[in-house]
Amino acid sequence: MKLIRHLMVAIALCVAGSSAQAGEVEVLHWWTSGGEAKAAAALKQMMEDQGHTWKDFAVAGGGGEAAMTVLKTRAVSGNPPAAAQIKGLDIQEWAKLGFLTSLDDVADKANWDSMLPPVVSKVMKYEGHYVAVPINVHRVNWLWVNPAVFKKAGAEVPTTLDEFFAAADKLKAAGVVPLAHGGQAWQDATLFEAVALAVLGPKDYTAAFVEHDMDVLSGPKMVEALTKFHRMRDYIDPNSVGRDWNVATKMVINGDAAMQIMGDWAKGEFTAADKVAGKDYLCVPAPGTQGTFTFNIDSLAMFKLNDEENEKAQKDLARTILEPEFQTLFNTAKGSIPVRTDMDMSNFDACAQKSMEAFKSTADTGGLVPSFAHGLATTSAVQGQIFDVITNFFNQKDADPKATAKSLASAVQSAL
């Protein structure tokens, strides 16, 4: 009797053991900075807890340009990963090419339709079917502030662009770098996006970067936005060329710089360095963008696979991502807010709580706009054109804002 019981336990363990090897998920992402890596590790752990194997496919490079290039090569050679961080309108492009699988069974079971805000679910679907799972919402229009540096320089935390320049002058005179920045095209675009939103307001921002209205793209307000953006060069240190965004964030953390304009993945770096929001650092809306919210949604698009076990692992991955436990673990490390608006926010810091409130309220007031610097507003073809114009402009000492606004419009037109 005892022997039979032992045998049965042994068989049960074997079965559990074999399902423990159940499937493998290969996940392409570019989460390699301190906060990002912690967030990705939470997902890996939760998949391993379910008996699956996590194959990490991290391609370093902020904004994900390098990751997208590598993904294309892998997909074209017929060997895509199970999941890849693909965002915004690109999801539609990949689905149209027939690469992505439907997640409708997982989505129906967990009722994603009622759990997700429509502004999110719309992006995740192709022809009415879920092909990607949203992970979080990042707010892009933030200003990160080191309050001790401000205090020392006798400067006030700015709420408008004019106040920004006034504070930056004081900080510069006090011998600190006013604005931490990394000279990479996507970071230039992220900075420009914040300035453009301040000058244009959400309506004209949308007209320019979502609807591609040529008059707004080349108009006087765009010229003003470009002029103010260019002025920011005066407050960035000469070593910014090629600098990674998280290195720039470190400058604010260490007090080598006073501010950074960056999405809240920067908060992941403050958190990883054990800094406390509201005390060691402040998060305020990027100057002149109060009442608006530039959103960037991270999402994993799921590729068609031909192995049943791996498909199961892929579905488990999709399901896990929208469960509350993961939403809290991942997003507290990453700096973002949950993509589910029904989540308890008490475990999140003050910045995330403010972000969630703003995400909800701006959806009603019209202040909620997609980020073009992070692929949520337009196609990658248009985005690439905008990046080129903006980064060339920002890198020229005597660039002409009027001519650049015209080039911006024609560059966008050429990619439509």
Q: What is the distance between the alpha carbons of residues 343 and 3, in angstroms, rounded to a whole number?
A: 49
Strand partners, 134: 299
Residue 187 C-beta: closest distance to ligand GAL, Å: 9
Of 61-69, 172-180, 250-258, 405-413, the window that binds ligand GAL (rule: CB under 6 A) is: 61-69
Closest CA relative to residue 50, chosen from 22, 13, 81: 22
Residue 30 or residue 293: which is nearer to ligand GAL going by CB? Answer: 30
Residue 89 or residue 155: which is nearer to ligand GAL going by CB? Answer: 89
Binding mask 360-399 for ligand GAL (x = CB under 6 A): --------------x-------------------------
Of 56-64, 108-116, 316-324, 360-368, the window that binds ligand GAL (rule: CB under 6 A) is: 56-64
Residue 374 C-beta: closest distance to ligand GAL, Å: 4
Residue 58 or residue 110: which is nearer to ligand GAL going by CB? Answer: 58
Site for ligand GAL in 254-313 (CB under 6 A): 265, 296, 298
Residue 119 C-beta: closest distance to ligand GAL, Å: 16
Q: Note whether 31 binds ligand GAL by CB under 6 A.
A: yes
| Two tokens, residue 154 | 């006798």
| Two tokens, residue 162 | 């004019």
Q: What is the distance between the alpha carbons of residues 229 and 115, in angstroms, rounded to a whole number?
A: 38
Return the C-alpha torsion angle 104, 372, 208, 202, nearest 10.
80
Residue 40: alpha-carbon gap to chain centroid: 14
Q: Label residues 36-74 b or e (16+ Cβ within 10 Å = b).
A: bbbbbbbbbebbeebbbbbeebbbebbbbbebbebbeeb
Residue 327 C-beta: closest distance to ligand GAL, Å: 15
Interhelix angle 34-49/265-272, rounded to 10 degrees, is 90
Among the listed residues 63, 81, 201, 367, the single contact to ligand GAL using CB under 6 A: 63
Among the listed residues 62, 182, 202, 287, the single contact to ligand GAL using CB under 6 A: 62
